[in-house]
């Protein structure tokens, strides 16, 4: 059985709770300042991200095929 060492950072639990409450309060205040996108803007952005993802996926798949063929030629398998 080990020796127990009390963890005393010199901060009372009341101070910690006040800091947490202040942090949450400030977060809520900042979120009220945010300009949220409209539904149309959100749909448009989502479409752009999905389209970009598909294009990049096709590009990477194409590179994979090209490099596979090159490596097969170098290794004498194709």
Region 30-34 average pLDDT:
95
pLDDT of residue 7: 59
pTM, to two decimals = 0.58
For residue 15, give both structure tokens.
């101070």
44-75 residue pLDDT tens: 999 999 999 999 999 999 999 999 999 999 99
pLDDT of residue 46: 98
pLDDT of residue 12: 76
pLDDT tops 80 at residue 4: no
CA distances, 21 to each of 4, 10, 34 (Å): 31, 19, 21
For residue 60, give both structure tokens.
């990477």
């Amino acid at each position: 059985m080990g020796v127990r060492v009390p963890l005393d950072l010199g901060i009372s639990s009341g101070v910690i709770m006040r800091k947490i409450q202040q942090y949450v309060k400030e977060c809520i205040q900042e979120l009220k300042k945010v300009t949220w996108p409209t539904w149309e803007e959100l749909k448009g952005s989502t479409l752009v991200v999905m389209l970009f993802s598909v294009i990049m996926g096709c590009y990477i798949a194409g590179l994979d095929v090209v490099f596979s063929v090159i490596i097969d030629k170098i290794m004498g398998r194709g």
